Amino acid sequence: MKISKTKKKTEKIIPSNLNGISKWIKEYRDRFSIDIDKLKQTSHQFLASNNFKSNEKSQNNNNNLNDNDNDDDDDDDSGWTVVSRSLKKTRQRMIPSTDKTLNRLRAKHKRSNQKKELVNFYKFQMTDKKIDQLEQLKIKFELDKQRIIQMRQQRKFKPF
């Protein structure tokens, strides 16, 4: 089968007067079409300039003897930031184990446990507590009455 010289390869011919959806599809495809040669050229240029900058910095660092093993380069334009965490002191202080300090620690521990306990959780516990307080008040009142009577007998009672 012979191919005639007059026939050429058919290429997609897109008319310039597109309308509607076909126009939008063409614009969308054109927006994302990438010229590979241009992309390759720009990437090579960027890498070359970046390598040149890094070579200059390494030469400056070698020449500069004042910055020995300094990791904090504030003038570093490479885009990297060195992040370090500050270590908090996690060791407990050494406490001499005397009886006084141990008793103080025990009392502190006991107080913290008492704060955590739920006293009067149930309603009957609350009513019992109120009843106990009233009884204690009555007992104190009776004791005060007796003390006043004793003071009157001794004539040391001066209410005013």
- Segment (H or E) for 146: helix 123-153
Determine which of 30-34, 69-73, 140-144 has the lowest per-residue pLDDT on average. Answer: 69-73
| pLDDT, average across residues 152-156 | 80
Give the chain's mean pLDDT.
77
Query: Which residue in the block uniquely carries the two structure tokens 């009776």?
Result: 142
Percent of the chain with pLDDT strictly greater than 70: 69
Question: Residue 43 and residue 89: Cα distance in Å, rounded?
Answer: 48
Q: Residue range 101-119: average pLDDT?
A: 85
Structural domain includes residue 68 = no
**More confident: 53 or 77:** 53
Domain contains 95 = no
| Region of poorest pLDDT, from 31-45, 48-62, 75-89, 133-147 | 75-89
| pLDDT value at 134 more than 90 | yes
Distance of CA 33 to the CA centre of its chain: 43
What's the pLDDT band for 139 if we cut at 50, 70, 90?
A: very high
114-134 burial, b at 16+ Cβ within 10 Å, e below that, comes to eeeeeeeeeeeeeeeeeeeee
Residue with tokens 């990791």: 71
pLDDT for the residue 160: 67
Q: Is the pLDDT of residue 151 over 80?
A: yes
Its domain, for residue 43, covers 21-62
What is the domain count for the chain?
Answer: 2
Highest mean pLDDT among 43-52, 110-119, 139-148: 139-148
* Helix locations, 33-98, DSSP H: 36-63
Mean pLDDT, residues 81-98 taken together: 64
Helix (H) or strand (E) holding 111, with range, is helix 99-116
> Which pLDDT score is estimated for 65?
46
